């Protein structure tokens, strides 16, 4: 009989409709490759050389105000520009392209250079949640914006250009690949089951109590059954809401609280400032109602084999499919253990 703890198997990710290969027997193989040493470096509260600290000049020449809470600005090196023609180009049905108008913003979480979502007081994380909701709404309200992606790259390993606590917001005229796959899957599930995929999944994980890491009244964080990254977390709203803007004030406080705990938990498990890419998936802002959409966030840490062993997705994963050795069940157990042992 198939044992998901022992036998190599595939797991289906219903949220994007793709499979991941899981090899739970394989964690014991030797490793002589690159290892990462994660060191939490002491940082000053203010860094005169930081592009994001209050009062400092940015790389693009503008100067930051003496902000005291959050601070939003248009990315000086924006990947997307608003006055781009939203036009198709098609050469023989093979060389197909489309102009992608859009906008990019940067949100500083705090004037303090040395803080993170884990070390900021919870009320300040709540202010960040409010700004996320506000920016999502305002950018999404534009008729030319079909989707708004909020994401945080934390740690140099993840490509974050600066340790100052910040995130980015990209607004596009088209729905990008990942949310488009989710959109399709959420819609198909709703049609087939007359129910919501993530409502049902959150409820199922609550019953199973194996992969749940932490929960509160409004949100549940799980190591998803179909995780590709070890210690990957899926944070799901318990209420069937489609975006941050409709989350109640109480819900936003709960979100701030669980984000604060999750970020702290990662740092605690790995005893250092743990790198990750985190982001929210919210309904497309393409002018149509999306009753099937369900607000959630993904945390993707880049360490593939253990806390300190980094491995890129190469070989089989590049050519065939993602493959995982550490199971979400064992990752969740380790995260829960850290939650009990760390003061978060």
CA distance 46 to 114: 7
- Token code pair at residue 270: 């790995």
List the one residue from 11, 135, 154, 164 that touches Zn ion (CB under 5 A). Answer: 164
Enumerate binding residues for ligand H2U (CB under 6 A). Answer: 51, 58-60, 75-77, 106, 153, 159-162, 168
SS3 category, 208? helix
Residue 136 contacts which entry, ligand H2U, Zn ion, none (Cβ below 5-8 A, type-dependent): none
Residue 260 contacts which entry, Zn ion, ligand H2U, none (Cβ below 5-8 A, type-dependent): none
CB neighbours of 88 closer than 8 A, spacing ≥ 6? 96, 97, 98, 99
Is 166 part of the annotated catalytic residue set?
yes
Residue with the CB atom nearest Zn ion in the bound state: 50
CA distance 330 to 232: 12
CA distance 170 to 283: 14
CA distance 77 to 104: 8
Minimal distance in Å, beta carbon 36 to ligand H2U? Answer: 19
Nearer to ligand H2U, 118 or 167 (CB): 167
Provide DSSP, 65-102: ---SS-EEEE-TT-SS-TTS---EEEETTTEEEE---E
Stretch that binds Zn ion, among 11-19, 164-172, 220-228, 299-307 (CB under 5 A): 164-172
Nearer to ligand H2U, 166 or 294 (CB): 166
Nearer to ligand H2U, 152 or 215 (CB): 152
Nearer to Zn ion, 41 or 83 (CB): 41
- Token code pair at residue 192: 């087939």
- Token code pair at residue 315: 């070989």
Minimal distance in Å, beta carbon 275 to ligand H2U? Answer: 12
- Token code pair at residue 155: 């740690």
The site that binds Zn ion (CB under 5 A) totals a number of residues, namely 6
Residue recorded with tokens 């919210």: 282
CA distance 264 to 273: 9
Stretch that binds Zn ion, among 42-50, 83-91, 120-128, 144-152 (CB under 5 A): 42-50
> Considering only CA atoms, which of 174, 177, 339, 179 is closest in space to residue 263?
339
List the one residue from 11, 113, 135, 260 that touches Zn ion (CB under 5 A). Answer: 113
List the one residue from 15, 20, 50, 106 that touches Zn ion (CB under 5 A). Answer: 50
CA distance 67 to 334: 39
Minimal distance in Å, beta carbon 105 to ligand H2U? Answer: 9
Of the residues 166, 260, 294, 296, which is catalytic?
166
Nearer to ligand H2U, 31 or 77 (CB): 77
As annotated, the active-site residues are 166
Residues that bind Zn ion (CB under 5 A): 47, 50, 52-53, 113, 164
């Amino acid at each position: 009989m198939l044992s998901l703890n022992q036998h190599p198997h595939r797991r289906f990710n219903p949220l994007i409709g793709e499979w991941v290969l899981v090899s739970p027997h394989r964690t014991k193989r030797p490793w002589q490759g690159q290892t990462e040493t994660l060191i939490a470096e002491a940082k000053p509260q203010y860094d005169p050389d930081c592009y994001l600290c209050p009062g400092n000049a940015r790389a693009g020449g503008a100067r930051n105000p003496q902000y005291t809470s959050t601070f939003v600005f248009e990315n000086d090196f924006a990947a997307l520009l608003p006055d781009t023609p939203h036009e198709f180009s098609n050469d023989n049905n093979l060389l197909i392209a489309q102009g992608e108008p859009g906008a990019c913003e940067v949100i500083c979480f705090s004037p303090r250079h040395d803080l993170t979502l884990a070390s900021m007081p919870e009320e300040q994380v709540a202010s960040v949640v409010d700004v996320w909701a506000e920016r999502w709404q305002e950018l999404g309200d534009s008729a030319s914006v079909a989707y708004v992606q909020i994401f945080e790259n934390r740690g140099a390993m993840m490509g974050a250009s600066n340790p100052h606590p910040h995130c980015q917001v990209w607004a596009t005229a088209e729905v990008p690949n990942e949310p488009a796959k989710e959109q399709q899957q959420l819609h198909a599930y709703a049609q087939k089951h007359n129910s919501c995929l993530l409502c049902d999944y959150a409820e199922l994980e609550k019953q199973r109590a194996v992969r749940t890491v932490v929960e509160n009244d409004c949100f549940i964080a799980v190591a998803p059954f179909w995780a590709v990254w070890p210690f990957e977390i899926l944070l799901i709203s318990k209420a069937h809401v489609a975006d941050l803007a409709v989350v109640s004030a109480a819900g936003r406080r709960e979100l701030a609280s669980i984000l604060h705990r999750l970020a702290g938990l990662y740092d605690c498990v790995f005893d250092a400032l743990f790198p990750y890419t985190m982001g929210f998936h919210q309904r497309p802002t393409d002018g149509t109602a999306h009753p099937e959409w369900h607000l959630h966030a993904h945390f993707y840490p880049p360490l593939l084999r253990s806390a300190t062993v980094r491995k890129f997705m190469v070989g089989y994963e590049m050519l065939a499919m993602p493959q995982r050795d550490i199971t979400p069940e064992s990752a969740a157990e380790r995260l829960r253990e850290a939650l009990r042992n760390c003061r978060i």
